[in-house]
Amino acid sequence: MKTTIGKWNIGVGLWVMASFMIYGFVLIYLRDFAPGKEAWIESYNTGAHFEARLAHVHGNLFSLLNIVFGFLLMKLNLKDNLAKWASWLALAGLLMPLGILGEVYLGLPYYLVLVGGLSIFLATVLLGVAVVQMKNETKGN
């Protein structure tokens, strides 16, 4: 049975990855070309600079995870209920890097970071459970 569960993970994952790639170019500009780049370089491992790099790395990682999860969800014959939950939780995981950016640039509280981190973790666990259950179901057939 073909399913479209996971299609949104792939599409959103690609768009968010492209966005965080552009953000990476902005960070390179700030480090190498912007006026006052020396101050930016001096704060390399502290404060907003460190948080900005965390958002960039986690944004690309969680985007890639969504692409992989989406592909697996579309290709594997998983229980629809578990697959839908894993899909939505993986998408919610993107709140983590967006929450880090919200902290750095908007002064938002850390709640989005926690919700996103917990969501991507739960999506991973659920996908693992769904795959194990799939294996057990097909073994007897």
pLDDT in tens, 89-103: 999 999 999 999 999
Q: Which residues form the domain of 49?
A: 7-136
128 part of a folded domain: yes
C-alpha distance from residue 84 to each of 70, 75, 115, 121 (Å): 10, 14, 18, 15
Task: With respect to residue 141, please indicate whether it lies within any of the assigned structural domains.
Answer: no
Let me know if residue 2 belongs to a domain.
no
- Residue percentage of the chain with pLDDT more than 90: 75
Answer yes or no: is 121 within a domain. yes
Q: CA 84 to CA 48: how far, in whole Å?
A: 36
Distance CA 117, CA 105 (A): 19
Which residue type is seen at 2? Answer: K
Summarize the confidence of residues 53-69 as an average pLDDT.
96
Which tens digits make up the pLDDT trace of 7-57? 999 999 999 999 999 999 999 998 889 898 888 778 777 788 889 999 999
**How many domains, the chain?**
1
The model's pTM is 0.89
